[in-house]
Structure 1
């Protein structure tokens, strides 16, 4: 039986064995002074030899190359290869102490030299919401490769401007750059700015969360917990000390952040020109990058209206690149164009079905049967099936190659890859469908052609409008809707009555001047009788003068609303239905829900339609009546849209070029009344309303008051 002394002896033996094992391990990891000195000398000699050869390696890498971007990339690639070789040379030279050589090689090995497109091809996955699920493949959209690579860390480009149509992959470039910075660079802060905080939360944040979830390389970088402080709506923290800051251009507080190197501005043309009284948000954003000599910015947007379109302004300051593709027949490089005039001998062409049904004789809606492209050089007809090969052999060519650090890329929907976007036939059909409708035409130019819409209605010649007078009986036409616009002056009310047909074709019925003190009820009684007489279904009354009388008049007529004209070329003529409902719910207790009227857009719309020379949708007719005399048309053409520049910022404003403009204001309000009525002008006309259609003031109950305010007569 073991005694206590035996147990103690055994314990000491175990301790001795453990100490010896520790000593042996330490001895094995210990090098003699002689070996350390020899290894250091060998490493120093190998390193000096390799470093002396680097200048020659770099010179050979860029021999004969003149393009700055290419030179920068070749130098980065050469030094990457040289560092890898130095590690191998030092390891082989360090025979006296192999572990030291291995550690030096591991420390000298640089990370992979990847471009954004290479990173996306290697790591990005698309698992839903796409026609091509699976690993990202830049070859499907080859025109995006150069744009992405210009955003790479080793590219000398500092600003990338992408002026584009919808659906060509501009947002995917943004997401790939975000993933590249998070996974490959790992230590860079980035600011992503959307037009509004609402759009950030509704659009960008879900897209980024989807990308992180679908891309394995990113999934472990950030927490998926909504409660985690590193995963908020405005900031995502990843890596050790890196952040993706997500902001809105309408919030100056969200633009106040630490200095950072990388910035993305999505839909930059929708940014306000002044935010919170603190100036241009673009200047606030630029201030965040001042301390970085290698800062990068990516500006992306579909264009808006010429003269106040940010992306067009930024593109005009760039080297202005277009993607040129070769003709399959003559191999001439050319950028794809859409001929809006219809007279060019090249561009997109199409064939339509017969305009009249052979059996019934009915005039049919234009229908495109096939579309193709005609080469600018040899005039060969190019089928859309050739587009895939054309895109793969295309190249970006700058119009201003002297500009090096700011690259601008412009592309339209004709480049959309086959199967991943709209077809040439779809584009031609959309073009035919939007003829005669200035709103649809504007959307086509912006979102299909990727071009800014040039307002045609900037001014009109009043004398030329007199030639538009026609002989027709306004009250005999089958209008779908009759509206009125009322302008209030101190000593009179002026009213324009407009009848509306299919697709907003308009017939002026009458323009009436009701004299009288507008602070007294008599003239308002006359207005009510005149509106009933003309069978008005919706009216907008200017509330800028004698406001209390306007409120009193509209309170008992739910089909008449007070309107407040608000300037601003970006303000819509009338609010969209969702925003209007929200506003009416807030203001219903006051019983006077004043409708904000975007008069600048209304004037632009009317002037554009007054320049139309083809009768049809949107055309405005004038009767040969005494009310429509020289003075009427002089007032109609009393304003002019001019472009001005404040500092470096262009803006547009309406300038009154004669003293009186009441007829223009009345027509704007009558047009706004048509939009507020929510009447579908493509439906058959309704039966005539009750001539005594008056209503008691809206009740105090909240829900009923809102419904009354929203329902057209």
Structure 2
């Protein structure tokens, strides 16, 4: 008779194994070593530096990763940084290393659920798949609820990653998390439940040894979340030694800017604040090898360590490229903001209000051109149209090189956009032309009409005109929004049908456009980039409307402070709205990116004098947007040209030198 032997597991042994795993002291959580042992960049991920994680290239992140370790007592770690400097890699190391070395419940929050899904597909999934230490912990199970797009649980159940969007209050509730990453924090907007940062922070309130990593490129101050967190923390800056005298110092953008030769951006460098010697890019790696993080608010190091790093320290960006980016952005506030945010890793301090309207009015009263005429140098015309209950208001603006603009005309059409007479006059506006100083009459190149209100009525009129010349737009007040972005396909909420107007509908970042405009209208040199010119003949109400809004703090019921644009309730603001719409039309037309050859072609086409044309004497005198030296004529109350000038002293001579 054969005996059947059945081998069973030793229950006592299993219990001891479980106790061993539970009671065994955790291994040291060393994110630096884990990165070197596990992170390998492909050529697609890092074309310049493929291969294993090279700690020397990212030496400035060593201390950040140490701060994230349980050995550091701080609870919050903040990193304010430039874009494309390796910050996402650090967040991924923190996430993957935690799941491998010290598994727990981990929350990774993005600005929106769409961002979260994109990160899960494009960043997290490849890391889990290609990292040996993680592949066995997170096996792919397409039909398993433990491996979904926004939730990844370890195979042994000892930890999981929940991926959420800050715009969803529900995804930030009813969970307790030991570790967190709050990514792109500056872009977080309040959700239906209030402040998402407070909601996320509260998810770790019940865990004494919790660690929260806040990381982002700054945006706009006041109101920038990552900048506010940095200032609330230890405020640690990267000090490096001078290669000549060994004096420790921070590489400040202002130092590079002071030494910048605009004719030779390839010569970009720093100057030692101690010995005055030049610090060149070939010194960078040796300096970064000896980097020291020094806190300016050391009392906070035990609870909240905050770090700030920018592109000058990174091998991923040359100093020449930094200089060229600045020269390209200089003079245009919107571009300057992008440069300060993405390259310098610093928040852009807003112009919260315009100069007094009387100042702009007086400047317009003494202008060199009349309302209804195109100022010399204005080569492209755009119109912004704003619809109200009983009228439609419009503004025509001429655009030139160096982001300069000149107001051409302003008008009011009575009636509602749905009325036939109003539409007939708008049709006429589409055909209207304005004269320049060279005998040419020019029609608008691009027109933008506000479609946020009376959308169907606006579309009914707009659809009769070519989309290549007329667009619909609506304002987006988020500081983080693109300057202009086509609206995604929208559908009728009742029928589900695709709305036809969505093909020519655009969102514009009116918040940034207002900030940029209010900086630009303060400029008085007509040759300065971004200069805004006003004609004679505009009434006071126009200037009041143009300067009607202020950026002010608003405290919510939940205690969080938001910064919103606000106008005096008794003051209309259509002058500002139509200016923003005209600028949106200019951006859509391509004013910001037109190459010099196109500008020169437009100049040849539109500013070559028409044969036998009788040019206005004053307009001819002010050709190319220049103002002569003047003497005041008390009798006329307007400047009169000075009859005698020294050679080379006129604005025209100065222009020739600039050209």
Same fold (TM > 0.5) = yes
Matched, 1:369 2:278: no
2:349 aligned with 1:445: no
Aligned to 1:192: 108
Quickly say closer, same or farther: Cα 1:617–1:227, change in 2 above 3 A: farther
Matched residues in 1 for 2:230 and 2:91: separation? 17
Structure-2 separation of matches of 1:310 and 1:139: 30
Separation in 2 of the partners of 1:526 and 1:215?
65
Aligned with residue 536 of structure 1, among 437, 444, 451: 444
8 Å CA contact 1:191–1:264 kept in 2: the answer is yes
Q: How does 1:119-198 map to 2 (within 5 A)?
A: 119-128=34-43, 129-130=45-46, 131-185=48-102, 187-198=103-114
Aligned to 1:268: 185
Structure 1 residues 528 and 443 mapped into 2: Cα distance closer, same or farther (>3 Å)?
same
1:344-355 correspondence runs (5 A): 349-353=259-263
- Does residue 288 in structure 1 map to residue 203 in structure 2? yes
Q: Matched residues in 2 for 1:122 and 1:341: separation?
A: 37
| Match of residue 520 from structure 2 | 609
Determine which of 661, 669, 678 is the counterpart of 2:573. Answer: 661
Deviation of 1:107 (Å): 11
CA distance in 2, matches of 1:663, 1:399: 45
Contact 2:183/2:214 (8 A) holds in 1: yes
Match of 1:235 in 2: 151
Whether contact under 8 Å (2:234, 2:306) holds in the other structure is: yes
Structure 2 counterpart SS, 1:272: coil
Tell me by how many angstroms 1:544 deviates.
6.9
Is the CA contact (8 Å cut-off) linking 1:472 and 1:623 kept in structure 2? yes
Say whether 1:643 aligns with 2:553.
Answer: yes
| Aligned-pair CA distance for 1:387 | 1.9
Structure 2 contact 178–210 (Cα < 8 Å) conserved? yes
Secondary structure of 2:543 counterpart: helix
Q: TM-score, normalised by structure 1?
A: 0.71
Q: Deviations over 1:603-635 (max 9, x none)?
A: 2232222123443543222222x2x13332222
SS in 2 for 1:576: strand
Task: Check whether the contact 1:480–1:681 (CA below 8 A) recurs between aligned residues.
Answer: no
Counterpart-to-counterpart distance in 2, 1:664 and 1:107: 65
* Equivalent residue number for residue 406 of structure 2: 507
CA apart distance, 1:230: 3.3
**Alpha-carbon distance change, 317 to 291 in structure 1, aligned in 2, over 3 angstroms:** same
Query: After the TM superposition, which residues 17-28 of structure 1 pair with which residues of structure 2 at under 5 Å, given as runs?
Result: none
What corresponds to 1:526 in structure 2? 425
Stretch moving more, 644-653 or 592-601: 592-601
CA contact (8 A) 1:321 1:397 kept: yes
Cα separation, 1, equivalents of 2:482 and 2:42 = 41
Structure with greater contact order relative to length (CA < 8 Å, sep ≥ 6)? 2
Residue 554 of structure 1 is matched in structure 2 by 462
In the TM superposition, what is the alpha-carbon distance from 1:681 to its structure 2 partner? 4.4
Deviation at 1:533, TM superposition (A): 2.0
Match of 1:652 in 2: 563
Name the TM-score, length of structure 2 as normaliser: 0.76
For 1:632 and 1:530, the matched residues in 2 are separated by 19
The count of residues paired between Structure 1 and Structure 2 equals 563
Per-residue deviation, 1:340: 7.4
Q: Give the Cα separation in 1 of the matches to 2:587 and 2:168.
A: 31
Partner residue, 1:381: 278
Tell me which of 297, 305, 316 is aligned to 1:400: 297
Contact 1:550/1:562 (8 A) holds in 2: no
**Distance of 2:405 and 2:127 partners within structure 1:** 49
Deviation of 1:480 (Å)? 4.6
Task: Determine which of 353, 365, 381 is the counterpart of 1:458.
Answer: 353
- The structure having more radius of gyration, on CA atoms, is 1
Higher helix share: 1
Label 1:644 to 1:109 Cα distance change in 2 as closer, same or farther (>3 A): closer
Is it true that 1:631 corresponds to 2:526 in the alignment? Answer: no
**Higher alpha-carbon deviation: 121-130 or 391-400:** 121-130
Contact 2:220-2:479 within 8 A present in 1 as well = no
Matched-pair contact (CA < 8 Å) for 1:504–1:681: no
| 1:328/1:541 CA distance change after superposition, 3 Å | closer
> Conserved in 1, the CA contact under 8 Å of 2:237 and 2:293?
yes
| Contact in 2 for aligned 1:490/1:545 (Cα 8 Å) | no
Structure 1: how far apart are the matches of 2:503 and 2:65? 53
For 1:357, the equivalent position in structure 2 comes to none
Q: In 2 relative to 1, CA 567–245 (structure 1 residues): closer, same or farther, beyond 3 Å?
A: closer
* Contact 2:311 2:344 survives alignment (8 Å): yes
Deviations 1:421-466 (A, max 9, x none): 1122221222112112222211110011111111235322212213
Could you say what secondary structure the match of 2:70 adopts?
coil
Which SS does the other structure have where 1:512 is aligned?
Answer: strand
Question: Which runs of 5 or more residues in structure 1 are unaligned?
Answer: 1-7, 19-103, 344-348, 354-366, 689-713
Match for residue 171 of structure 2? 254
Q: Which residue is 1:436 aligned to?
A: 331
Question: Whole-Å Cα distance in 2 between the matches of residues 221 and 415 of structure 1?
Answer: 35
> What SS is found at the alignment partner of 2:177?
coil
Cα drift, residue 115 of structure 1: 2.1
Specify whether residues 487 and 181 from structure 1 end up closer, same or farther in structure 2 by C-alpha distance, changes over 3 A only: closer
Say what the alpha-carbon RMSD is for the aligned residues: 3.5
